[in-house]
Structure 1
Amino acid sequence: RGQNNVQGLADMGVQPHQGAGYLDVTNDEVNKKYNEFYGVDVPKEIGYKIPEMFDAAIAGKLKAIWIIGEDIVQTDPNTQKVIKAMESTDLVILQELFMTETAKYADVILPGASFLEKNGTFTNGERRVQAVRQVVKPAEGSKPDGQIIVEIMNKMGYPQPDYTPDGMLEEISQIVPFFAGIRWDRLGKNGLQWPVAEDGTDTQILHKTEFKRGKGYFEFNAWEETMELQSHAKEFPYILTTNRELEHYNCGTMTRRTANEEILSDDYLMINPEDAKENEIVEGDYVCLESPRGKVDVKTRITDEVKKGILSTTFHFPDIMINNLTGDIHDSEAMCPEYKVVAVRIRKSKGKFKKQLT
């Protein structure tokens, strides 16, 4: 779980094939439970994963998208395809803290509140539901995400009370079995680890003598070279892998607005000394990095931290937009993008980037 509430999102049914509590949305009994609890007919169809949303938008099958707290134009792979998807969508709603690259393509921007400005929970990889408590009031004109969603629900004719963390957890406890005993006033300083019994007893160790869902199933799949390299390695012989630096988080929407920007002010390309020598590149040179999708110019850092044939860089800064290079290869199940293998070639930069060195 690489980010602070990935587990919590999964618990609440962010996957298109599952509802809250990992319940199968196509199951008749589950659907009946949702319908009775919410008093409306809940759809049984499996929705789109993010890459499928982009394909559907470009094909004219997705008419509206509501994005909460994610700068997909800068952080998702194949930037130009993402932009095309945004431009192909009739209504793009963005809920954000700051203006971002994605905000440039939004029809409506809803100003949200940061984690310091609202009450709620984060759930980490050890199933620990932790309270996040407001310490400052939201900036004028902004609201907590939960309150924004509630107000839209009210405007669309589904009456809801104002968002509160205790009210939200009360609702969740009635629909998600392993949240049965989670209450806001029980979370304390260290939270509770689900499953939580109705009396508030949590589960610190889940699997003691057996696996709760039974033994798993192993299926062998022989290794196959990624299609990215099968299709492009001959023309684009280097492998680019993207990473993150300590000073910045993802697209840097928040961290680039702090003093961290004084420590790290741009993306740079890590290149092995042998590759640098073969391409007549010296420390600090700007190079043109090109893939089948596009090209960017980025400053080099020569280092043995990467192997020969491997290049590595971050995607923290929008003036470079590294994800113009990344592609459409995804894993077969979650459709997680293949940020770690991108076929590229390099050469010294020309024009304005060459002039920056003199």
Structure 2
Amino acid sequence: MIKLTIDNQQVEVEKGATVLDAARKAGIEIPTLCHDPRLETSLGGACRMCLVEVQGARTLSPSCTMPATDGMVVSTKSERVVQGRKVVLDLLWSRHPHDCLTCSAAGNCKLQDYSFEYGVKGSRFENPEEEEFPLDYSNKFYYFDRNKCILCGKCTRVCNELQQTHAIGMSERGFETHVTPPFDDPLAQSKCVSCGNCVSVCPTGALVAKKTDRFRYWDVRKVRTTCSFCGVGCQMELLIKGDKIVEVQPYDGAANNNMLCVKGKFGYKFVNHPDRLKTPLIKRDGKFEQATWDEAYDLIVSKLKEAIDDHGPDSVAGFSSARCTNEENYLFQKFLRAVVGTNNVDHCARLCHASTVAGLATTLGSGAMTNSNREALKSDVILVSGSNTTEAHPVIGAHIQQAKEKGAKLIVAEPREIELAKEADIFLQIKPGTNVAFFNGMMHVIIKEGLQDKEYIAARTENYEELEKIMESYPPEKVAEICGIDAEDLIAAAKMYAEGERAAIYYSMGVTQHSTGTQGVMSVSNLALLCGNIGKEGAGVNPLRGQNNVQGACDMGALPGDYPGYQKVINPEAQAKFEKAWGRSLNNKAGLTITEVVNGVEDGSIQFLYVMGENPAVSDPDTTHVEAALKKANFIVAQDIFMSETAEFADVVLPAGSFAEKDGTFTNTERRIQRVRQALKPIGESKPDWVILTELMNKMGYEASYSHPSEIMDEMASVTPQYGGISYDRIDEEGLQWPCPTKEHPGTPVLHTETMSRGLGLFKPADYIESAETPDKDYPYIMTTGRILYHYHTRTMTKRVKGIDVMFPESYIEINPITASRLDLADGDKVKVASRRGDIVTTAKVTDKVVEDVVFMPFHFYENGANRLTGTALDPTAKIPELKVSAVRLEKA
């Protein structure tokens, strides 16, 4: 430790800390314009505002780059320091417009704040002939005003060091220095992904979010909450003026390190969109009519009781929602189980990570991400497979890119050349559906080369002999032929992973959405166990959850076979526990999955379907079949914030509150339970989902008296072991990661550190099985699906954000140039795509991201959507559909 004196106050800091670090530890404020604690210290010091005086030094020094030394005596407020800072401000104003009265950054401008603090009103060096530069409005979400840029460098450094996009930099030298994309192109022509992190750190009005509402920053109030898009769980502040969100700023939470993506930063405008549902609707004679809440409730209760009385409780089913809070998912499954008497409850995890829950629960005892978001920064080897991380989970993708820049080795095994593939040490462009063979090939090499962690295997695993036996059948040459890769690349990747001290695997739906999805997940686990990478910081098996609360919805029992906390409905002890807690007899038969419910709606065995915040008409495979079932439905209730494609089929539509209009919690992909805080009153007559469910429970004769979601959390904690120590008070400032079983428990960043949740890690090897549908002469191409950066799930929210929808308003299909040439297709041509389920017409995007005879479609779109083509083959264990492999044919439209 180092001891120094700052402003007559002794401070002790660790070696390597800067003077600025030491001052802030002591509570001494030093002004900064260019400093950001997340950035490399040695590259800072551009603005010179943080000048301090060190005893014995002839000149003032920037405290943000000056290392603290033992015995150093520092003054931060001497006359020399104050005069030095005034000169800095004086020089900055010499090239800066004096338009504070009309500047949109007023109230959020450090230059303005420091000028007021130091009494600087202008510049002695003012140049009246200074050139005025045009504003760059080319980006859809923000603009750049070079005239107000003070060259602090924060924007370029955040883009390059943190976001890792390298879209902007500094050009020219001396007085001509300026921020620019390469070659002085407009921002729209750069590599910019519109994350807005540069906008968030700009200390002046140089980078400004485009605004549809005029406001001053002193007019707004800030409400901290959790992002409602992907599973990263970014913390943010909503800036509220009146009854509207006018801007979003990132918050320095543990999950996101003060970063956001384009959806988190700019995708908030759906909240106040005029399309929001504002009143209950009842369909009469085929048309929706406004109704009162009592009318809607009375009809729902009448139809619900009719279905139960005439056909039994199992004629009722419900889809819960990964977009709703933990508290709302808990109440939804409780409503179906304790009030209705059925376990027919499921949600979209069935379509994305059901195989993760099943696979990892079998091999490790817990079906969740073993490590934490930011641990990628501590990895020395990272294997990404089945995850387009920079687009589906952008902030985690940035962490992986940061790790790569710091020296970590990166292996990518993907059917498409995703962004991370361009930076990978080894890129293996595997054929869709060959994940099990690929992981088996990796393990074959590791075992043959003697690179497995024998000590770890002996102490912490079982069934290794079975693994060795099956892996003998997967030599690199055989696997290379199956996967369409080079055997030498496979060997190199296996050695690279095995030789890593902290090797992490990141995967998502490219591994899970297969008829062999559970086997794929267990193969990932086998590989990690083989090299001793479970229970270690910076390593582990890391399934990335797609939606904001898909982890929490699973945790809360929105699954047909599980009560909250993954306690099985067929377990008599679990049944007795929840019967006592809920005061009702419970059904001990596992319920139906989403795909089984849809079939039940079609054949009439499901008489009443309650859909909360889900959109199966877009997200489920074989859209035509789903629509046919919904058309035949006896009675459907849809509860949502917009009139979704599914809600159009409903008999009653209930207007729900958005994430900004309610309190609650989300659980992110790293198992972190975080607060969601109400910032606005519910729009129109809409209500938070938990209020609607509480009122319906009471209407059905079941007493439910919750005055606030914190009371629901207390009940959840009492019956869910992993959440036993969670309360709103404990997570008010920083979320906690489950398992957190007691009020004293600190939470669990890394699972399985001492022992696996099941005791020993189980090797569960599997042979490679082809996808259920393979190409033939009638359907010669493999279609795979996935996400894109700018849209979220079924677009109910993002298509109502103008900038996003203008960029990607419709579906498209990626086709390799050789395939396109063979079909006489050019980029932008209309192409007819057909599968055994139907056909669509979409737009060709010719690209070498995909190999010959493989095509890709994003699944977000309803019109001409990919899921009109996908099949219904299921994984026999997890019942997850094979959405990643469909045989199709193409022809010019």
What is the CA-CA distance between 1:6 and the residue it aligns to? 1.3
Structure 1 residue runs of 5 or longer lacking an equivalent are 350-358
Separation in structure 2 between the aligned mates of residue 249 and residue 120 of structure 1, nearest angstrom: 21
Q: Residue 352 of structure 1 aligns with which residue?
A: none
What is the CA-CA distance between 1:280 and the residue it aligns to? 0.6
What is the CA-CA distance between 1:221 and the residue it aligns to? 2.4
Q: Residue 755 of structure 2 aligns with which residue?
A: 210
Specify the code of the residue in structure 2 equivalent to 1:242: T
Separation in structure 2 between the aligned mates of residue 200 and residue 81 of structure 1, nearest angstrom: 50
Specify the code of the residue in structure 2 equivalent to 1:140: G
Correspondent of 1:91 among 607, 629, 635: 635
What is the CA-CA distance between 1:125 and the residue it aligns to? 2.5
8 Å Cα contact 2:830/2:844 also seen in 1: yes
Q: Residue 572 of structure 2 aligns with which residue?
A: 28
C-alpha RMSD over aligned residues: 1.4
Q: Residue 248 of structure 1 aligns with which residue?
A: 791
1:1-57 per-residue CA deviation (whole Å, 9 max, x = no partner) reads 222111111111122111011111111111111111111101111000111111222
1:275-309 per-residue CA deviation (whole Å, 9 max, x = no partner) reads 00000111111010001111100011110001100
Q: Residue 830 of structure 2 aligns with which residue?
A: 286
Task: Indicate whether 1:38 and 2:579 are aligned.
Answer: no
Correspondent of 2:626 among 62, 72, 82: 82
Task: Indicate whether 1:132 and 2:676 are aligned.
Answer: yes
What is the CA-CA distance between 1:59 and the residue it aligns to? 2.3
Separation in structure 1 between the aligned mates of residue 787 and residue 596 of structure 2, nearest angstrom: 26
Select the structure that is richer in helix: 2
Specify the code of the residue in structure 2 equivalent to 1:287: V
Task: Indicate whether 1:196 and 2:745 are aligned.
Answer: no
Q: Residue 689 of structure 2 aligns with which residue?
A: 145
Specify the code of the residue in structure 2 equivalent to 1:236: Y
Separation in structure 2 between the aligned mates of residue 331 and residue 266 of structure 1, nearest angstrom: 30
Separation in structure 1 between the aligned mates of residue 752 and residue 863 of structure 2, nearest angstrom: 48
8 Å Cα contact 1:266/1:316 also seen in 2: no
Separation in structure 2 between the aligned mates of residue 322 and residue 180 of structure 1, nearest angstrom: 41
Q: Residue 223 of structure 1 aligns with which residue?
A: 768
- SS of the equivalent of 2:762 reads coil
Specify the code of the residue in structure 2 equivalent to 1:184: Y
Task: Indicate whether 1:268 and 2:781 are aligned.
Answer: no
* Matching of residues 267-346 of structure 1 within 5 Å: 267-346=811-890
8 Å Cα contact 2:604/2:634 also seen in 1: no
Correspondent of 1:233 among 750, 759, 776: 776
* Inter-CA distance 119–86: structure 2 relative to 1 (3 Å threshold): same
Separation in structure 2 between the aligned mates of residue 137 and residue 106 of structure 1, nearest angstrom: 26
Specify the code of the residue in structure 2 equivalent to 1:25: V
Separation in structure 2 between the aligned mates of residue 26 and residue 277 of structure 1, nearest angstrom: 56
Q: Residue 175 of structure 1 aligns with which residue?
A: 719
8 Å Cα contact 2:555/2:564 also seen in 1: yes
Q: Residue 801 of structure 2 aligns with which residue?
A: 258
1:133-154 per-residue CA deviation (whole Å, 9 max, x = no partner) reads 1111111111111111111101
1:212-241 per-residue CA deviation (whole Å, 9 max, x = no partner) reads 321233333211112222xx6331011111
What is the CA-CA distance between 1:61 and the residue it aligns to? 1.2
Separation in structure 1 between the aligned mates of residue 888 and residue 795 of structure 2, nearest angstrom: 24
8 Å Cα contact 1:165/1:184 also seen in 2: no
Q: How many residue pairs are counted as aligned between the two chains?
A: 347
Correspondent of 2:728 among 180, 184, 194: 184
What is the CA-CA distance between 1:201 and the residue it aligns to? 2.3
Specify the code of the residue in structure 2 equivalent to 1:240: M
Separation in structure 2 between the aligned mates of residue 55 and residue 216 of structure 1, nearest angstrom: 37
- SS of the equivalent of 2:773 reads helix
TM-score by length of 2: 0.38
Separation in structure 2 between the aligned mates of residue 59 and residue 221 of structure 1, nearest angstrom: 35
% identity of equivalent residues = 39
8 Å Cα contact 1:26/1:44 also seen in 2: yes
Specify the code of the residue in structure 1 equivalent to 2:761: G
Separation in structure 2 between the aligned mates of residue 292 and residue 68 of structure 1, nearest angstrom: 31
8 Å Cα contact 1:330/1:336 also seen in 2: yes
- SS of the equivalent of 1:130 reads strand
Structure 2 residue runs of 5 or longer lacking an equivalent are 1-544
8 Å Cα contact 1:58/1:84 also seen in 2: yes
Separation in structure 2 between the aligned mates of residue 199 and residue 71 of structure 1, nearest angstrom: 37
1:142-191 per-residue CA deviation (whole Å, 9 max, x = no partner) reads 11111111111010000111452210111112111222221112112321
Specify the code of the residue in structure 2 equivalent to 1:176: T
* Matching of residues 54-65 of structure 1 within 5 Å: 54-65=598-609
Separation in structure 1 between the aligned mates of residue 584 and residue 612 of structure 2, nearest angstrom: 24
- SS of the equivalent of 1:184 reads coil
Separation in structure 2 between the aligned mates of residue 162 and residue 110 of structure 1, nearest angstrom: 20
Separation in structure 1 between the aligned mates of residue 707 and residue 644 of structure 2, nearest angstrom: 26
- Off by >6 Å, runs of 4+ in structure 1: none
- SS of the equivalent of 1:344 reads strand
Specify the code of the residue in structure 2 equivalent to 1:152: L
8 Å Cα contact 2:811/2:865 also seen in 1: no
Task: Indicate whether 1:6 and 2:550 are aligned.
Answer: yes
After the TM superposition, which of the residue ranges 281-290 and 214-223 deviates more from structure 2?
A: 214-223
8 Å Cα contact 1:286/1:348 also seen in 2: yes
Specify the code of the residue in structure 2 equivalent to 1:226: S
Separation in structure 2 between the aligned mates of residue 219 and residue 174 of structure 1, nearest angstrom: 34
Separation in structure 1 between the aligned mates of residue 772 and residue 721 of structure 2, nearest angstrom: 41
TM-score by length of 1: 0.93
Higher Rg of the two aligned structures: 2
- SS of the equivalent of 1:168 reads helix
Q: Residue 181 of structure 2 aligns with which residue?
A: none
Specify the code of the residue in structure 2 equivalent to 1:282: A
